[in-house]
Amino acid sequence: MNAIKTKHNLDFEAAPWECMGSIDESFIRFRIGTCEGLWRRADDAYEILAVTNDSPGNGHFDDVLEWFEFACKRDGIALRIMEVWNKKLKQHLIKKRGFSLYQYDHVIKRKFK
């Protein structure tokens, strides 16, 4: 039974990630609908390093944010999305999703409804 029901009623799936490169091995793979990526728990935030969507525009990224925001609110920590190189996405997260600039390419959200 899911802890929440997201916009598209999607499950949160996670699995270990076997790193074969220079990225920190503390990251965990996730999949929510057609979105997948890497996340980890830091001391003060859940950190998302990467997200891809096999079917852009289907709204599944909304479900990704719903899941992570639910967990952040539950655990009393922030949500940090790291290395947001897409300028349009960064502006969308800041102007429409309640994030603020954290470092040059990172954004953070500290308050959740």
Residue 16: pLDDT band (50, 70, 90) is: confident
Residue 109 confidence (pLDDT): 98
Give residue-wise pLDDT tens across range 42-90: 999 999 999 999 999 999 999 999 999 999 999 999 999 999 999 999 9
Per cent of the chain over pLDDT 70 is 94
The domains of the chain are located at 13-109
**Fold category of 13-109 in CATH:** Aminopeptidase (3.40.630)
C-alpha 10/C-alpha 24 separation (Å) is 27
Residue 24 confidence (pLDDT): 67
